[in-house]
Structure 1
Amino acid sequence: MQNVALILLVVAVILVFMSIRVVPQQSALIVERLGRFRAVLEPGLNVVLPMIDRVAYKHSLKEIPLDVPSQICITKDNTQLQVDGILYFQVTDPKLASYGTSDYILAITQLAQTTLRSVVGKMELDKTFEERDEINHTVVMALDEAAVNWGVKVLRYEIKDLTPPKDILHAMQAQITAEREKRALIAASEGRKQEQVNIATGEREAAIQRSEGDMQAAINQSEGEKQAAINKAQGESEAIRLVARATAEAIHMVAQTIKQPGGLEAVNLKVAEQYVEAFAKLAKTGNTLIVPSNLSDVSSLVSSAMQVVKNSGTSSQG
C-alpha cells in the first residue's frame, strides 16, 4: 500500500509540473485541446490540462530581421540587376500566424522577392539607384497588405546591395568619371568667368571712384575760385570805399580850409602852380612844340598867382 501511495504521489507531482507553463516576456504559446485551438498563453504563469492540452506553436513577439535571398531582377531597359535586401517584421496575432499559413516566414520571403522583381521591372537601371526609398516603400506596402491574414506586421524593407553586371558597372564608372571631369571643367570655366566679372566690376568701381574724386576736386576748386573771387571783390569794394572815404574827407578838409581867412587865395595859388606844371609837361611832346592859342590867359594866371603870393607875403609881414 505504501508503494502504491508513493507512486500516486509521484504521478500527482508530475501532473502538477506538466500543468504549469511559464511563458517568457515577448513570447506567445498556442495551446490546442484535443487537436483544437483553445487559447494563447500570455507571458507569465499559465495552467493547462496535462495529456489533454498541448502546446502546438511557439512565437516570438519581438521584431525579427529576415534576410531575403538575393535575386536577379530585369529592369525596364532589359538590364540584369542583382538585388539583396533585408526585411523586418513582427508577429502581432499568434493565432493567425499559426493557422493563417503553413509557414509565414516562407510566405513573406517569397512575396518580398516577387514584389521586388515587379517594382524593379518598372524602372530603368539608373532610376533603381536613385529611387531606393520608393522601392523599399512599395515592397513594404505590398507585404503589409498581404501579411494581415498571416498575423504578421511588416515594419520595413531595406535594399542592402544593387549589383549590375560587370560590363554595365564599368560603363557606369566611366560615365561617372566623365561626368566628374565635365563638372570640373565647368567649375573651372565658371571660376574664370567669375574672375573676369570680378576684374571688370573692380575696374568699373575704380573708374567710378576716380570720376567721383575728379568731380569732387573740380567742385572744391570751383568753390575755392568762387570764394577767392568773392574775397577779391570784397577787398576791392572795401578799397574803393576807403579811397572814397579818404577823398571825401580830403574834400571836406579843403572846403573847411577855404572857409578860413586866406584859404581861397591859397587854393588859387595851388591851382596856378599845377596849371603851370601841367602846361610845362604838355608844351613839348617829342619834336613838336605846343603853343597855347591864348597866351594872355597864362600871363593873367601867372599875374594872379604873383598877386596871391604878394598878398600872402604882405599878410604875413603885417
Structure 2
Amino acid sequence: MMNDMSYNLPATDVAVLVIWGVIFLIFIVKLLQSIRLVPTKSAYIVERLGKYHKTLEAGFHALIPFIDRVAYIQDLKEETIDVPPQECFSMDEVNVEVDGVIYISVTDPVKASYGITDYRFAAMQLAQTTTRSVIGTLELDRTFEERDLISAKVVEVLDAAGEVWGIRVHRYEIKNITPPQTVRNAMEMQVNAERERRAILAESLGEKQSRINRSEGNMREMINISEGEKQRRINAAEGKAAEILALAQATSDSIVKVADVINQQGGQQALNMQLSEQYLKQMQGLSKENRKVILPANILDYQQWMTTIGLQTEAK
C-alpha cells in the first residue's frame, strides 16, 4: 500500500523534495566551507556581506555561512619574481638587454588585497621601468660595474611603493646584461688586447727584475772576490811582516849571543876557526861549479887568507 503511495506522488511534490535536497546540500557545503584551517605563514582575508571584516591568521577558524567568505588568500613567505628581459639604452646609446629577479614578501595582507590589483605584476613593471631609467644614466662600460647601484635604486623605488601595496622588497638582483653581438665582439677584442698588454708588461717587469737580480748577484760576487783578495793580501802581508820581524828578532838574538861568546875567553879564536871552515867549504863548492876564484899567492899561508877575507888583521 505504502509503496504504491510513494510511486504515486505528484510531480510538484517531487520537485519540492528535490529543491529541498539541493538547498540542504548547499547548506552542508557552505557549512563545511565556513570551517577554515589557516596554515602557517598564510593570511585569509574575510569579507562579511561584501565588506572587509577581518584577517584570519594561522589556526582554526569558523565563519558564518552565507554571510562570511574568504575573499583573498595571501602567502606571507618570501617569494621570487622573475623580471623578463627588456631592452634598455645606455647613456652612450647602446642597446642592451637586461633581466633580473625580485625577492619580496607580503607584510600587510589587507593592503596587498585591496591596495592594488596584482602586486606581483606591479612590482615587476616598476622594476623594469626603474632599471631602464638607471641604465640610461650610465655608459655601457659602467653598467657592468654598477650592478649594485642599479639594484639599490630599484629596491629604493619598490620600497616606497611597497608601503602602499603592503609588501616589502628585500633585494633585486640583475641576472644578465646582454649587449648586441657587435658590441660583444668589440668588448672581447678589447679584453684580449688588455690581457696581452698585461702579459707583455708582466714579462717585461719579470725580465727587468731578472736582470737586476743578475747584476746584483754579479756585483756581490765581485765585491766578495775583491774583499777576499784584499783579506788574502792583508793576511799575506801580515804573515810576511811577522816572518821578517821573527827573522830580525832571531838574527838579533843570535848576534847578541855570538857577541857574548866572542867576548868570552877563547871566543875570538873559535869564531875565526868556524869562519875559516865555512870559507873553505864555500870555496870547495865554487870549485865544483867551475867558477873563477881569486886566491892569494901562497895558498898554504892561512894567515894571509884570513887577512884577505877580512876575518883577521895583518900582524905588525
Normalising TM by the smaller chain, what interval? 0.7 to 0.9
Residue among 36, 44, 64 paired with 2:51: 36
SS in 1 for 2:100: strand
One-letter amino acid of the counterpart of residue 228, structure 2: G
Matches for 1:11-50 after TM superposition, within 5 Å = 16-50=31-65
The answer for the alignment partner of 2:200 in structure 1 is 185
Matches for 1:289-308 after TM superposition, within 5 Å = none
Q: CA deviation at 1:96?
A: 1.3
Q: CA deviation at 1:238?
A: 2.3
The answer for the alignment partner of 1:305 in structure 2 is none
Moved more, 149-158 or 138-147: 138-147
Matches for 1:83-122 after TM superposition, within 5 Å = 83-122=98-137
Residue among 217, 234, 244 paired with 1:219: 234
Say if 2:150 is the partner of 1:135.
yes
The answer for the alignment partner of 2:72 in structure 1 is 57
Using a 3 Å threshold, how does the CA distance of structure 1 residues 250 and 133 change in structure 2: closer, same or farther? farther
Alignment gaps of 5+ in structure 2? 1-16, 270-300, 309-313
The answer for the alignment partner of 1:68 in structure 2 is 83
TM-score in terms of structure 2 length: 0.74
Using a 3 Å threshold, how does the CA distance of structure 1 residues 171 and 227 change in structure 2: closer, same or farther? same
Using a 3 Å threshold, how does the CA distance of structure 1 residues 252 and 192 change in structure 2: closer, same or farther? closer
Which one has the largest radius of gyration? 1
The answer for the alignment partner of 1:163 in structure 2 is 178
Using a 3 Å threshold, how does the CA distance of structure 1 residues 182 and 11 change in structure 2: closer, same or farther? closer
Q: CA–CA distance in 2 between the matches of 1:41 and 1:280?
A: 151
SS in 2 for 1:78: coil
One-letter amino acid of the counterpart of residue 57, structure 1: Y
Q: CA deviation at 1:117?
A: 0.7
Give RMSD over aligned pairs. 3.1
Residue among 175, 188, 197 paired with 2:190: 175
Q: CA deviation at 1:42?
A: 0.8
Q: CA–CA distance in 2 between the matches of 1:281 and 1:158?
A: 124
Q: CA deviation at 1:85?
A: 0.9
The answer for the alignment partner of 2:261 in structure 1 is 246
* Residue-pair matches, total: 261
SS in 1 for 2:65: coil
The answer for the alignment partner of 1:78 in structure 2 is 93
One-letter amino acid of the counterpart of residue 56, structure 1: A
SS in 2 for 1:76: coil
Alignment gaps of 5+ in structure 1? 255-275, 284-291, 299-318
SS in 2 for 1:245: helix
Using a 3 Å threshold, how does the CA distance of structure 1 residues 57 and 253 change in structure 2: closer, same or farther? same
Q: CA–CA distance in 2 between the matches of 1:280 and 1:16?
A: 165
| TM-superposition CA deviations, 1:20-39 (whole Å, max 9, x none) | 11011211111111222221
Q: CA–CA distance in 1 between the matches of 2:254 and 2:92?
A: 105
The answer for the alignment partner of 2:286 in structure 1 is none
* 8 Å contact kept, 2:91–2:139: yes
Q: CA deviation at 1:192?
A: 2.2
One-letter amino acid of the counterpart of residue 182, structure 1: R
Using a 3 Å threshold, how does the CA distance of structure 1 residues 210 and 282 change in structure 2: closer, same or farther? closer
Say if 2:195 is the partner of 1:195.
no
One-letter amino acid of the counterpart of residue 219, structure 1: I
| TM-superposition CA deviations, 1:207-227 (whole Å, max 9, x none) | 111111112212211221222
* 8 Å contact kept, 2:262–2:268: no
Q: CA deviation at 1:278?
A: 6.0
